[in-house]
A and B are shown apart, each in its own frame.
Chain A
Amino acid sequence: MKILVQKFGGTSVDSEEHRRKAAGKVVRAAQAGWNVVVVVSAIGRAGAPYATDTLVSSLKAVDPSVPPAPREMDLMMACGEIISTVTLAQTLRTLGYDTIALTGGQAGIHTDYEFGNARILSIDPSYALRMLEAGKIVLVAGFQGVTTYGAITTLGRGGSDTTASALGAALKPYADEVAVEIYTDVDGVKTADPRLVPQARTLAAATYEEVSEMAHQGAKVVHPRAAEIANQYQIPLWVKSTFEDSPGTLIASGADMGEAIRSRVTGVTHTGKIVYIRFEVPSGDEEDKAQIELEIYRILQKEDIAIYLTSTGGNAFSFAVAREHLPRLRDLLDGLVIPVDLSMRRKPPFGRLYLLGLGGGQKSFRAQRDLLHHTAHMVEVHEMAAEVTENCTMVSVIASRFKGVPGVMACILETLAGAGVPVFQTADSAYSISVLVPETDTQKATQALHDVFDLHAAAGGG
């Protein structure tokens, strides 16, 4: 048995015309001899009547002061996929095909209990297999599963992609051949965001690692969870356009690809509206710095604010947060006093107080400074005003194999300097080098890096 899992995103099913196009892809696969499992996302994007965001808003609108229970929120959100799945099933039925629409739970997808961000624990594909063997096209609502006790859960970001990949993995032992196709409104994985780089090219092929890294660094084609599952189970994953007949991008293992793909620069991505914050400890004491750094990170942890691009060294440390957190960060840190090595069992000074400032008017900072002025004979008071760089973004160069190749960072910084783009910080991981640049330079930086690595030219079949 040949099994093809096809996943259609929200824009692929948001009108009758689009649903017909999506149905056409399913029909073509069925006619080519595939047993087809179709995973469907909710119809449309924010604002559309049954889009996930719309359903969430309607639930919250009952009384904005009372947050819905996570379990009920998931129940509500899951409705969007169920509606689109049944609608597409009916579209296929009108074309003369025998279909069955299933919720995630009916398709055997079992998850943990983390409502809103559940993880797939197991899939029992028996029923879906029986339906395929009976000649039906099986449609499964994406983005959802069910707990042991029957509560509907949603899978969080990238949920429908994850559903498709996981179903492919679950069905693989029962099939002679399995493939997964992710249909979207672009024709494959691009070397850059085409809105920023018009010459961005569609990759003919990419490795699981490349796509996973691209997704983590901001590309919005396939969710990394889906790529990771496909990698784990070695399932070929295709990214294709619902609205065109172009071949799309094949995502597979590097071992199955030529050397040119295994050692290339894959693309340039950009992500996030970021604020970069740097503190310098005025006393120059490294132990004090470690204590202050920890206290700040503790506060951010309690507030559930994720930090990244961390750096520490000498008497300074720095980190980045999503820009949406800046007002809360100012509330938390501006005017904060961190005591270090405080003890009344000795002669004055009894220790050190570090007063933090975080810009934005610094009302709290000024008020605290005035108050602490009166304690100067008892403790050392050090003012620590942060350097806050607002409106940044992270641009990343993705590569399948940079290891041991000197000069890549030099090339990136040289290119950006030539383009007049300042770089505030850098970060490197196994498959990418990222630079923090002004948000206003995102296009310029992306274009310049795309050019310097010659990404508009096809290489090695990629």
Chain B
Amino acid sequence: MEPAQQTQERPAARAASVHFERERGVTDVVVTRGMAHVTVRLPDADPAAARLALLQSFAAGSISIFLVKLHPCAISFGVRANLVDACEEHLRAHGADFTLLRDLALVTTIAGAMRDLSGVICHIYETMLEENIGVRQTGDAYNAVLCLVAGEDSERAARALRRRFSLEDAAEDDTGPSEGVGLKAL
């Protein structure tokens, strides 16, 4: 068989129509509502032991948490809406000194290789400050930066971030982050 004929028989090599690698930079901004943020103040005497005991009690009570951050004399974390009441009850039962903020939303900025991008977090902070939106907590994974903001501000935050990263066409999604984005119960 002649090479030319072979080429005709196989599917045409449409090189330009195939995308092999994900786009550079920020590719999406996703909002997940119904979050709460909890800060538990720990005793000065042995905060590490108190922190561990608290996490163990959550595990025993089947309360999943995420965005866990350690502070010198405190621990903070996020809780999904369906577990907020149980979490609050649990903390009260354990006599914890805590602050619980309800009706928050997680605004997730997604990029392929966040740790190779030096300016994404800066742009996110600039945007939030310009929009006068307070960020309760942040987190980052290799593919996402997470900002916990007031639920009522979340859509405005997402719109502003989409503008900032030229993603105006990206569809808003209220169903929660897709697989691979940094939100998980621990």
Q: Which residues of A does B touch, CB under 8 Å?
A: 108, 110, 114, 119-126, 129-130, 133-134, 162, 166, 169-170, 173-174, 209, 216-217, 225, 228-229, 232, 286, 290-291, 293-294, 297-298, 300-301, 303-314, 316, 402-411, 413-414, 417, 422-433
Contact = CB atoms under 8 A, between A and B. Distances in A.
8 contacts: A134-B3, A169-B18, A216-B143, A217-B142, A297-B121, A298-B126, A308-B114, A406-B62
Given A122-B16, A408-B186, A430 B181 contact: yes
Contacts of B13: 108, 124-126, 129
A307 B121 contact: yes
A437 B144 CA distance: 22
A290 B135 CA distance: 9
A428 B179 CA distance: 13
A290 B129 contact: yes
A265 B67 CA distance: 19
B48 interface: yes
Nearest to A406: B64
A308 B142 CA distance: 9
Contact of B179 (A162, A424, A430): A430
Given A301-B119, A428-B186, A431-B180, A122 B52 contact: no
Interface stretch (B4-12, B150-158, B164-172): B4-12
A306 B11 contact: no
Contacts of A209: 179-180
Contact of A425 (B63, B69, B115, B137): B69
A428 B67 contact: yes
Interface of B: 3, 6-7, 10-11, 13, 15-22, 24, 39, 48-49, 51-52, 55-56, 58-71, 74, 76, 114-119, 121-123, 125-126, 128-129, 134-145, 177, 179-186
A446 B69 CA distance: 21
A405 B62 CA distance: 8
Contacts of B181: 429-430
A410 B13 CA distance: 53
Contacts, number: 196
Interface of B is mostly: mixed
A428 B184 contact: yes
A415 to B, nearest CB: 10
Nearest to B179: A430
A306 B116 contact: yes
A53 B51 CA distance: 46
Contact of B70 (A114, A162, A425): A425
B49 to A, nearest CB: 8
Nearest to B58: A406
B16 A406 contact: no
A410 B182 contact: no
A433 B182 CA distance: 10
A120 B119 CA distance: 23
A405 B65 CA distance: 9
B90 to A, nearest CB: 11
Contacts of B119: 301
A294 B122 contact: yes
Contacts of A162: 21
B118 A426 contact: no
A247 to B, nearest CB: 28
Given A130-B7, A403-B184, A297 B115 contact: no
B137 A313 contact: yes
Contact of A174 (B11, B19, B125, B126): B11
Given A316-B71, A404-B185, A427 B141 contact: yes
Contacts of B65: 406, 409
B122 A297 contact: yes
B20 A169 contact: yes
B115 A130 contact: no
A409 B186 contact: yes
Contact of B139 (A133, A173, A402, A428): A428
Nearest to A425: B70
Nearest to A114: B24
Question: B59, B65, B76, B177 — which one has the most chain A CB atoms within 10 A of its CB?
Answer: B59
Contact of B185 (A125, A228, A314, A402): A402
Contacts of B59: 406-407, 410-411
A290 B123 CA distance: 13
B69 A313 contact: yes
B58 A216 contact: no
A428 B182 contact: yes
Contacts of B15: 108, 110, 122-124, 170
B10 A174 contact: yes
A433 B138 contact: no
Given A173-B11, A425-B69, A413 B51 contact: yes
